[in-house]
A and B are shown apart, each in its own frame.
Chain A
Amino acid sequence: LAKTTQPISMDSYEGQEVNITCSHNNIATNDYITWYQQFPSQGPRFIIQGYKTKVTNEVASLFIPADRKSSTLSLPRVSLSDTAVYYCLVGELWSSASKIIFGSGTRLSIRP
């Protein structure tokens, strides 16, 4: 399983774009990159997943460079409700038995 490194914490303000970068130097060919969001005393919630280039959904974008050794989660125009911990996960998805291992995550605080 590829190890991931994220900033421990980040601060931003409402209305700003927030970019959280995750480093995964040992990513394998079959590995996908997945981001989860977790609020206090709740289970994680899926945000976005990608393999390469750029993926966009209704809540976020995921940028993955050609070498795939890092990825950036982009949250457009954040609000106070985006205050949460964000986890970057890397793992093989072709196997239904592959584990889901969480790293340390990034604690994002949004201020008015």
Chain B
Amino acid sequence: GAVVSQHPSWVICKSGTSVKIECRSLDFQATTMFWYRQFPKQSLMLMATSNEGSKATYEQGVEKDKFLINHASLTLSTLTVTSAHPEDSSFYICSARVGWQGSTLNTEAFFGQGTRLTVV
């Protein structure tokens, strides 16, 4: 299957600083990328959906000024956690979907390995 790579796999940062997480589709072009956060023993919570070249659509309750999402190319999306605080510590996961390729719709979503963010 296709590969989605996240970087870094884990990061520790000081409270008040910003952290950028990258999500790359290594062998396909992703028209749509999704960002999730997951707390221990809980399910994945969708934060936002981004389409290449357009602004991300955030889910209700997710602060767009705090979680900046950029989807500048068909193979890269970034999530920046600005002014991070301990409560932002979580497991962040991205997903990429190919979408339409000509007249063919590829609906399978591929997930990155996740990024463990710890804010101290």
Within 8 A of A (CB), among B85-117: 91, 93-95, 97, 99-100, 105, 107-114, 116
| Most chain A CB within a 10 A radius of its CB, from B36, B44, B91, B95 | B44
Give bound CA distance, A44 to B6, whole Å: 13
Residue of A nearest to B114 (CB): A43
Is B74 positioned at the interface, with any CB of A under 8 Å from its CB? no
Is A102 positioned at the interface, with any CB of B under 8 Å from its CB? yes
Question: How many Cβ-Cβ contacts under 8 Å join chain A to chain B?
Answer: 58
- A45 pairs with B97, CB closer than 8 A: no
- B109 pairs with A42, CB closer than 8 A: no
Within 8 A of B (CB), among A16-63: 32, 36, 41-46, 49
Give bound CA distance, A41 to B90, whole Å: 11
- A46 pairs with B43, CB closer than 8 A: no
- B34 pairs with A44, CB closer than 8 A: no
- B51 pairs with A97, CB closer than 8 A: yes
Give bound CA distance, A42 to B93, whole Å: 8
Give bound CA distance, A44 to B93, whole Å: 9
Q: How many residues on chain B are close to A (CB under 8 Å)?
A: 30
Within 8 A of A (CB), among B32-48: 32, 34, 36, 43-46
- A101 pairs with B107, CB closer than 8 A: no
Give bound CA distance, A44 to B110, whole Å: 8
Is B29 positioned at the interface, with any CB of A under 8 Å from its CB? no
Q: How many residues on chain A are close to B (CB under 8 Å)?
A: 21
Is A66 positioned at the interface, with any CB of B under 8 Å from its CB? no
Give bound CA distance, A94 to B99, whole Å: 9
Minimum CB–CB distance for A87 against chain B, Å: 7
Is B31 positioned at the interface, with any CB of A under 8 Å from its CB? yes
- A96 pairs with B93, CB closer than 8 A: no
- Give B contacts to A, CB under 8 Å: 1, 4, 6, 31-32, 34, 36, 43-46, 49, 51, 91, 93-95, 97, 99-100, 105, 107-114, 116
